[in-house]
Amino acid sequence: MTTGSFSPYRLAWPLVRLIDPETAHGWAVRALELGVSAGSGGFADPVLHARVWGLDFPNPVGLAAGFDKDARVHAPMLKLGFGFVEVGSITPRSQPGNPKPRLFRLEEDRAVINRMGFNSEGHEPAVRRLQGRDGSVGIVGVNLGKNKETEDAAADYEIGARNFAALADFLVINVSSPNTPGLRALQGPEPLRDLLSRTKAALLDAAPGSAPPLLLKIAPDLTDEDKADIAAVSMDVGIDGLIVTNTTIARPDTLKSRHRGEGGGLSGRPLFHPSTRVLAEMYAETKGRMVLVGVGGIEDGRGAYEKILAGASLVELYSAMVYHGPALAARVNRELATLLKADGFSNVAEAVGKKAG
């Protein structure tokens, strides 16, 4: 079990939710940096063990990009029970992101809207922090973004591949954030082929023989043609996985919160079904040839299990932690282990894609 009897987070969380969400997030990161951790080690039931890309994940439940943008708190988050942490998105040079307010809690909808716009300290401080990391603590991926004013977007991802090739357990090309103008157009077949092949070449050049797996993170708001093209180009270039999905620009009619009209990407509960549908579709398009990471609206073990059944080898979450606090990782894992065993699976891999389509 990962949570001790005294959890500062469990006591503080109801209060944290009363303050401005970006301030609350900053405090949470600071507290984690200072070692105020509710965790006492990873959750390691053998049924949760997953071997993907030759890496041993103690469990398949990761922290999605955006929480630890500057690679400050991956170690404490791993101790809280996440099986891996994806830091970033990190841009080559530091940039402030969009004006505040840019992060909104949609309490009634158990959702979040953000238009952070890649606020990032840049590669250099993150490289320094990752150089100092104890690799035995767990698996850390790096999500790469581009600076707002960079015109040749692929160049920023090439720099990212070079700078993090020796430091990341996996690398993610993020072209699916709705908050950087023009970014999502890079998901089109020609720019995508150029982007993926140039980034892969840079990675292989920077770490010949030991390059980490290269993944692409996609949006949920894609046409059938977009999805077929992304699958074809990704397999053709030979990247190692897809992260499905980022936040959505859609605003379902069901949203109740007064913040529902804010611009940006919507995440959390209302994203669960749309993103799981895209996951199942990408599983059908890529079956057996591409590792899929399922993310979007997971808030319990059942949600994680549904993503795995739809085709995810690994899953990630972020928004539900805004409502449940960081102890959520341990709970999701506990519930997932129970569900896998109840259906007679002896490990995660056996369940992957068992209910796709």
Ligand X SMILES: Cc1cc2nc3c(=O)[nH]c(=O)nc-3n(C[C@H](O)[C@H](O)[C@H](O)COP(=O)(O)O)c2cc1C
Chain contacts with ligand X (rule: CB under 6 A)? 64-66, 69, 88-89, 103, 112, 114, 116, 143, 174, 177, 217, 246-247, 267-268, 271, 295-298, 317-320
- Shortest reach from residue 209's CB to ligand X, in Å: 28
From the candidates 177, 234, 275, 313, give the one annotated as an active-site residue: 177
Q: Please say if 176 is a catalytic residue.
A: no
User: Which positions ≥6 away from 168 have C-beta within 8 Å?
Assistant: 130, 140, 141, 142, 212
Closest by CA to 143, choosing from 80, 194, 201, 199, is 199
Q: What share of the chain is helix, strand, coil (3-state, %, to 5)?
A: 40, 15, 40
- Shortest reach from residue 173's CB to ligand X, in Å: 10
Across the beta sheet with 103-106, the strand order is 103-106, 111-114, 265-268
- Shortest reach from residue 110's CB to ligand X, in Å: 10
- Shortest reach from residue 346's CB to ligand X, in Å: 27
Q: What's the token pair of residue 28? A: 């949470």
> Residue 326: which H helix or E strand, with range?
none
Is the Cα dihedral 255, 257, 259, 265 positive or negative? negative
Do the beta carbons of residue 118 and residue 93 sit within 8 Å? no
Q: What's the token pair of residue 240? A: 């190692």
- Shortest reach from residue 188's CB to ligand X, in Å: 18
Question: Please, which residue, 163 or 246, has the CB nearer to ligand X?
Answer: 246
Is the Cα dihedral 83, 89, 95, 101 positive or negative? negative
Do the beta carbons of residue 297 and residue 271 sit within 8 Å? yes
> Residue 147: which H helix or E strand, with range?
none
Nearest residue (beta carbon) to ligand X: 66
Question: Please, which residue, 76 or 220, has the CB nearer to ligand X?
Answer: 220
β-sheet bridge partners, residue 329: none
Question: Please, which residue, 127 or 347, has the CB nearer to ligand X?
Answer: 127
User: Which positions ≥6 away from 105 have C-beta within 8 Å?
Assistant: 17, 21, 112, 257, 259, 322
Amino acid at 291: V
Question: Please, which residue, 329 or 345, has the CB nearer to ligand X?
Answer: 329
CA atoms within 13 A on the CB side of 83: 30
- Shortest reach from residue 21's CB to ligand X, in Å: 8
Question: Please, which residue, 21 or 138, has the CB nearer to ligand X?
Answer: 21
Q: What's the token pair of residue 176? A: 């699916």
Question: Please, which residue, 57 or 67, has the CB nearer to ligand X?
Answer: 67
- Catalytic (active-site) positions: 177
